[in-house]
C-alpha cells in the first residue's frame, strides 16, 4: 500500500511539474512573441523615419528644377506622415487598428507622390542636376526596399501571435493570461512594395 501511495505522490509531483512547465512555457512564448512584434515595429518605424529624412535633399532638387507648385503637396504629405509616425512610435503596446490604417494610408500617399515627382524630375533635369538626383534616387530606392522587408517582418510576427491565440493549445494559455483579448493589426501587403514594383523598374 505504501509503495502505491509513493507512486501516486510521485506521479502527482511529476504531473504538476509538467503542467507548470507547459503553462510557464506557453506564457513566456507569448511574452517573447510580443517582444518580437515591438522590435519589428521599431524596425518598421525607423525605416519610415529614414525615408522621411531623405526628403530635404529631394526638395532642394525640386526647388532648383521644378515649379514651386510642386512643393506644397509633398511637404503637407510628409508632415502628415511624420505626425502619424510619431503617434505609432509613442504607443508602448499594440497601436489601435484605426491608427495602423492611418499610418498605412499616410505612408502610401507619400510613396505615390514620390513616384510622381521622380517621373517629373526625370524629364526636367539639366545635365548638372542628373548626377545629384541619381544619388538621391538611389537612397530612396534603398529606403523603399528596407520598408518592404520591415513590413514583411512585422506582419510575420503579428500573424504568428494572432494565430497562436486561436489554435490549440495556444488559445488555452492565451485565455488563461488574457492574451486572447489582444489583437494586433498587420500592414496591407500593398502598403510597402519593393522598389522594383513601386517605381516600375525593369532592373533593380
What is the per-residue pLDDT for 185?
92
- The pLDDT of 15-23, averaged and rounded, is 65
Nine-digit cell string for 176 = 488563461
Band (22; pLDDT cuts 50, 70, 90)? low
The separation between CA 117 and the C-alpha centre of its own chain, rounded to angstroms, equals: 25
More confident residue, 14 or 184: 184
Is the distance from CB of 121 to CB of 66 less than 8 angstroms?
A: yes
Most confident of 5-19, 36-50, 65-79, 94-108: 36-50
Domains of the chain in sequence order: 2-198 (1.10.287)
- The pLDDT of 143-150, averaged and rounded, is 96
Read off the pLDDT of residues 177-189 as tens digits, 9 standing for 90 and up: 888 999 999 998 8
What is the per-residue pLDDT for 170?
84
Amino acid at each position: 500500500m505504501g509503495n502505491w501511495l509513493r507512486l501516486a505522490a510521485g506521479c502527482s509531483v511529476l504531473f504538476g511539474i509538467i503542467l507548470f512547465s507547459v503553462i510557464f512555457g506557453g506564457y513566456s512564448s507569448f511574452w517573447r512573441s510580443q517582444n518580437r512584434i515591438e522590435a519589428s515595429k521599431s524596425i518598421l518605424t525607423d525605416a519610415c523615419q529614414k525615408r522621411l529624412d531623405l526628403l530635404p535633399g529631394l526638395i532642394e532638387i525640386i526647388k532648383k528644377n521644378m515649379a514651386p507648385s510642386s512643393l506644397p503637396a509633398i511637404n503637407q504629405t510628409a508632415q502628415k506622415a511624420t505626425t502619424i509616425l510619431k503617434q505609432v512610435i509613442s504607443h508602448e503596446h499594440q497601436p489601435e487598428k484605426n491608427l495602423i490604417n492611418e499610418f498605412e494610408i499616410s505612408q502610401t500617399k507619400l510613396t505615390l507622390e514620390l513616384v510622381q515627382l521622380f517621373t517629373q524630375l526625370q524629364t526636367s533635369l539639366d545635365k548638372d542636376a542628373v548626377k545629384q538626383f541619381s544619388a538621391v534616387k538611389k537612397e530612396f530606392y534603398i529606403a523603399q526596399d528596407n520598408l518592404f522587408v520591415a513590413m514583411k517582418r512585422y506582419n510575420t510576427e503579428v500573424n504568428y501571435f494572432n494565430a497562436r491565440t486561436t489554435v490549440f493549445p495556444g488559445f488555452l494559455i492565451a485565455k488563461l493570461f488574457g492574451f486572447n483579448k489582444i489583437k494586433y493589426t498587420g500592414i496591407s501587403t500593398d502598403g510597402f512594395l519593393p522598389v522594383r514594383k513601386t517605381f516600375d523598374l525593369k532592373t533593380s
